[in-house]
Amino acid sequence: MKKLFYTGLLGLFFVYGFTTIQTTDNCDKKTLTASCKKKMEPYKYDSQKFTKIMFQKKTQQLEIEVPVFIGEKYRLVFNTSSLPKPVQVNVYTKDKESKKREAIYSSKPGENEIVFDAPRVRKLYVDYDVPADSTNQKLSGCIVFMVGYK
């Protein structure tokens, strides 16, 4: 009886632990932020943006507008390591409605930590091209994006 009791208790705690792991995504913002901050040196921290990515059956394009100032030097740092599937990160000088825009940065496959020192521009537009997910697994994760200046 005693053995049965402890086995049952152990089983329940195992199920509890497993459920907790399953319902929590991998977006540890503190760790991701610390990692970005490290890559930001010697630039000064300016702002950061956490973007929750929910993979859907269709592709998505999420955009972040980043106003910048003439004469300042900017560094953009991204961490995409919490994503279950790769997301393409592109940086443009014009928004996604503009037909004349061109990419000034595109992430390479397998790149989880991105550091990009921006050229002299008036505005930056960061686009996340999120691929479709047809697996019905409801995949999610987050991207941490940090801006620094000097």
Partner 1 sequence: MLVNKKSFVLKSAMLIATGMLLASCGSETPKEDNLSTGTDTTAAEASVEVEDVSYSLPSPLQIASIFKKSGLKYKEGITSTLKDPSKYTTNVSKALNLGVYSADLSYTVLNKQNQEAMNYMKLCRQMADNLGMGSVFDQGNLSKRFEKNIGNEDSLAYIIAELQMVTDMYLDENDQQEVTSIVFAGAWVESMYVGSKVYEKGKDKSLNSKLAEQMTILGSIVNALKVQEKKDAAIGGLIADLQGVKDIYDGLPSVKDHPEANDDTEKEMSLTDDEVSTLTTKIEAIRTKIING
List residues near partner 1 by CB under 8 A.
1-2, 5, 8-9, 12-13, 15-16, 19-20, 22-25, 29-30, 33, 37, 44-54, 56-57, 60-72, 95, 120-123, 126, 136, 138, 140, 145, 147, 149
* Residue 45 β-bridge partners: 148
Return contacts of 107-110, CB within 8 angstroms, 24+ apart. 107/78, 107/80, 110/86
Residue 66: count of CB within 10 angstroms of its CB: 18
* Identity at 85, one-letter amino acid code: K
Residue of 41, 17, 35 lying closest to 142 (CA atoms): 35
Q: Closest approach of Cβ 64 to partner 1, in Å? A: 5
Nearer to partner 1, 25 or 111 (CB): 25
Q: Closest approach of Cβ 129 to partner 1, in Å? A: 12
Q: Closest approach of Cβ 27 to partner 1, in Å? A: 9
